[in-house]
Structure 1
Amino acid sequence: MAGNQQRRNARTSNKKGMVVGSGGQRRKQLQGRGPTPKAEERVGHPAARRRSGSAASRTGGGRPAGGRRSGPGRGGSTEIVTGRNSVLEALRTHVPGSTLYVGSRMESDDRVKESITLATERGIAVLEAPRTELDRLTDGAVHQGLALQVPPYEYAHPEDLLHVELPGTPLIVALDGITDPRNLGAVVRSVGAFGGHGVVVPARRSAGMTAAAWKTSAGAAARVPVAQATNLTRALEAYRKAGFFVVGLDGDGDVELPGLELADQPLVIVVGSEGKGLSRLVRETCDQIVSIPIAAVTESLNAGIATAVALYEVSRSRRLR
């Protein structure tokens, strides 16, 4: 019988195939790689990206509207703003773009023309890119043939806010556990409107200056410095040593905001998240806990609105004194 190795002088090789019995001699080459991993566990698979995105949204680190994050880590990454409306809005609000990508052979409209004009006026590079390249840059997001690359935000050091050359008594806002970049942008806008000297955010578990924050700030982020603190509690203690009073906003405050007697002093107003409020260590670092009186039917205010109310009251009190 052909192939029967019990025969004497049986052939053991074939010019057209491998050596007979090579399965045993080359076992490593024939070993299996185990069970096929699930789609959610395969790097680069659309199901894995969807799973990653849903996990990020549950922890407050989802993508900002109209954009996506890329690169290693916040503060050292770039961001791509996608879609004609989002790109145009970002350029109108002076988001610091570095490159505007325009799809080749696409139908142009007023939004595309204005985006190209604004980018050219501000010295932003305008590059034509095929659809496949835009799909790769935007990670498959709906880009409508237009995408804006935003460089990493350059954070200040908390000590830098002590030397901001602005008129009036120093006023700083610190955010504790604020994870929505739109809230951060709203706070930056309010700080600019009421004469504040800057904003401090923790390096971890906090919203960063993404394109969404830039857009919400309505251009205020271009003139209001945002500092990043490795340890927020230590930064607050350093401000106290520098002569600041640290005031925390909380619904269970010792005094109500209209009765804040420290308003004319150098202040750091600390705002916690709407759900958890101030963390324990930050609360213990505050000189005073202040509440904003609201109607009983309203449980709380979000961080952006609470900060605006507090800054307005401090500004009003300082003008009267």
Structure 2
Amino acid sequence: MAKGERKRALRGRAGRMKGGRGSGRASSGQVRLWGRHPVEAALMNPARSHSKLWATREGIESLDGELPENFPVEYAEVTDLARMVARDAPHQGLVLECAPLEDVHLDEAIAGSDGPLVILDQVTDPHNVGAILRSAAAFGAAALVTQDRHAPPESGVLAKSASGALETVPWVRVVNLARTMDEMADAGYWRIGLDGEAEANLASALPVGRVALVLGAEGEGMRQNIAAHCDALARLPIGNAIESLNVSNAAAIALYAVATREASQ
């Protein structure tokens, strides 16, 4: 079905959302995503189990690709959609309710990929985690690894910051981060913790082969036990004008350094 035909079909079968229906919360056990890139990526992800899409006509027009046959779509007004998402969230005429992604194990994530791993030690801001996922997708990271209890859940805010990368970068949630880092070492990864006080800079610390980049929470940095499980600590060569970088910016720069190292080998 061509794009124009798909849109006409959607117009024919989509219902009409009544004013005031939006609750601002997803159904029990579901995740609510919004915005063109997150929604489009989730619709294209065969690993997602979708419940329903609410959309304006303009939102439907903005989508690329085809929706599954008989996909539940309901037209809505902009004001109705605004009540279904976080306050002042840019939903762009699209709100999708779906099931969370299935758990991914480390061995599954690294199978067939030599890309770097990104380990986050108690980074809890969904905007930061989403931005890191976006950089991880851009630079071919094998997976994002977080501790299950000290990381944000899947959410519309995180998915919007990830701009579709939530659907493409494996996210490994573990109970014991230090033990998982031991497993990474056994799999041949060189674990580099980013620390603004380290003597070595990242370029000199990067080895040949598999790399796992470890980043701690803003302000507190890595916990002592996590730093002790790193093979090396390294700093980014920033000037004295600022004390440190936002953790998502630091992740992007570190991933770029790994990518350029591999390109020059």
Could you tell me the TM-score, scaled by structure 2's length? 0.74
Q: Could you tell me which residue of structure 1 aligns to residue 263 of structure 2?
A: 319
Of the candidates 143, 156, 179, which is equivalent to residue 234 of structure 1? Answer: 179
Write the letter of the residue equivalent to 2:218: E
Of the candidates 6, 30, 55, which is equivalent to residue 78 of structure 1? Answer: 30
Q: Could you tell me which residue of structure 2 aligns to residue 287 of structure 1?
A: 231
Aligned CA distance change for structure 1 residues 115 and 232 (closer, same or farther; 3 Å): same
Q: Determine the C-alpha separation between the residues in 2 that align with 1:219 and 1:160.
A: 21
Q: Determine the C-alpha separation between the residues in 2 that align with 1:148 and 1:246.
A: 37
Q: CA RMSD in A?
A: 3.1
Aligned CA distance change for structure 1 residues 318 and 212 (closer, same or farther; 3 Å): same
Structure 1 residue runs of 5 or longer lacking an equivalent are 1-66, 72-76, 103-111
CA contact under 8 A between 1:93 and 1:215: conserved in structure 2?
Answer: no
Q: Could you tell me which residue of structure 1 aligns to residue 157 of structure 2?
A: 212
Aligned CA distance change for structure 1 residues 175 and 261 (closer, same or farther; 3 Å): closer
CA contact under 8 A between 2:38 and 2:162: conserved in structure 1?
Answer: no
Which is greater in Rg? 1
Of the candidates 34, 41, 54, which is equivalent to residue 101 of structure 1? Answer: 54
Q: Determine the C-alpha separation between the residues in 1 that align with 2:205 and 2:220.
A: 23
CA contact under 8 A between 2:35 and 2:160: conserved in structure 1?
Answer: no
Q: Determine the C-alpha separation between the residues in 1 that align with 2:138 and 2:30.
A: 28
Q: Could you tell me which residue of structure 1 aligns to residue 39 of structure 2?
A: 91
Write the letter of the residue equivalent to 2:161: T
Number of positions where the alignment pairs a residue of Structure 1 with one of Structure 2: 229
Q: Determine the C-alpha separation between the residues in 2 that align with 1:119 and 1:171.
A: 30
1:187 and 2:94 correspond? no
Aligned CA distance change for structure 1 residues 216 and 252 (closer, same or farther; 3 Å): same
- Moved segments of 4+, more than 4 Å: 67-70, 86-89, 92-97, 137-147
Relative contact order, higher structure (CA 8 A, sep 6+): 2
Of the candidates 80, 105, 109, which is equivalent to residue 161 of structure 1? Answer: 109
CA contact under 8 A between 2:38 and 2:163: conserved in structure 1?
Answer: no
For residues 38-49 of structure 1, the aligned pairs below 5 Å read none
For residue 147 of structure 1, report the CA deviation from its aligned partner: 4.2
Write the letter of the residue equivalent to 1:212: V
